Amino acid sequence: MSIEFTDVERFAAKPLLTVSLREDLGREGDITTQAFLPPTQMGTVKIVSRQVGVVAGLPLAETVWQLLDPTVQVRRLIADGSPVAPGSVIAEVTGKVTILLAGERAALNFMTHLSGIASLTAKFVAAVAGTQAGIFDTRKTLPGWRILAKYAVRAGGGRNHRMGLFDAVLIKDNHLAAWKAADPGNTMAQAIVAARAKVAAGTVVEVEVDSLDQLRDVLTAGPDIVLLDNMGPALLSEAVKIRNAAAPGVQLEASGGINLGNVAEIAATGVERISIGALTHSAPALDLGLDW
């Protein structure tokens, strides 16, 4: 698959790109290249993969160099979302050698991080192939990187959960504890009804449960999604049966303790969604390099 940056992602990237170049170049610039390389020398370098994975972040690398010098030319040989192997040439970059070297680390920092997220996501997506389960990210992202990290998840074939607290309702255990503290008689189902009444029409309302009894309670209120927290395959299978009988239109989301070793078994239970924080908070960088 291939994926392209939207205006939203370009806007989110601007402050990160600026900070990245500022922290690398300071006020003096790249004093190493300035010390002995001719400022007019031209060259071409290649962005090359050292590992098997999935690429993401090419538009960011391109922008890094063009912020330093608009005359730099980046020729993409593959698109974001494409698989790579050791030795795969991802892009060729042509411009003044001092500029190419000054932007090297910033460009690769963006690409290795986002490609790592895309690569890990692709492994989870491949593991659940043939089931109805989609792989979803979470809000467990580095501050300021969320929009870009979620872009990388899509590049790996995954799907995006809510972007933040502002675009969907997700009633979690601490919300419910506060709800009960306000009135011990309050139920989880009542919390869903109360939330639905306050938010705009069409807003997704999701609730987290950690037992089958809680699932039965919340299904009576018609949430869009029920998050099944830290349930093993046996409980998840039972939860699917309960949902199918009581409210087949409600989607079920498994979350908590999910890894590449158990995700296929979890997907086989019949849940529609599997959310994994590790996609964005623990993905190892994909090893990419800049070669002459």
Active-site pick, 76, 105, 180, 196: 105
Instruction: Please pick, among 69, 224, 229, 238, the residue that the annotation labels catalytic.
Output: 229
Residue 7 bears catalytic tag: no
Following CA atoms 232, 282, 78, 264 in sequence, which dihedral angle do they give, to the nearest 10 degrees? Answer: -10
Q: What angle do CA 42, 44, 105 make, to 5 degrees?
A: 100
Measure CA 9 to chain center. 12
Write the DSSP symbol of residue 211.
S
Q: Is 238 a catalytic residue?
A: no
Residues 81 and 176 sit within 8 Å (Cβ to Cβ): no
Active-site annotation holder among 137, 208, 253, 272: 208
Phi, psi of 109 (to 5 degrees): -60, -45
Instruction: Give the dihedral sign, CA 146/153/123/225.
Output: positive
Candidates 200, 209, 262; CA nearest to 234 is 262
Catalytic residue among 14, 75, 172, 241: 172
Judge contact between 86 and 42, C-beta under 8 A. no
Catalytic residue among 140, 159, 180, 216: 140
Q: For this structure, is 28 an active site residue?
A: no
Identify whether 241 is a catalytic site residue: no
**Cβ-contact 110, 249 below 8 angstroms:** no
Instruction: Please report, in angstroms and rounded to a whole number, the separation of the first and last CA atoms in the chain.
Output: 28
Can 105 be counted among the known catalytic residues?
Answer: yes
CA-CA distance, 14 to 75, in Å (whole number)? Answer: 21
Crossing angle of helices 97-127 and 7-25, in 10° steps, is 130
d(CA 256, CA 82): 29
Q: Which residues are catalytic?
A: 105, 140, 172, 208, 229
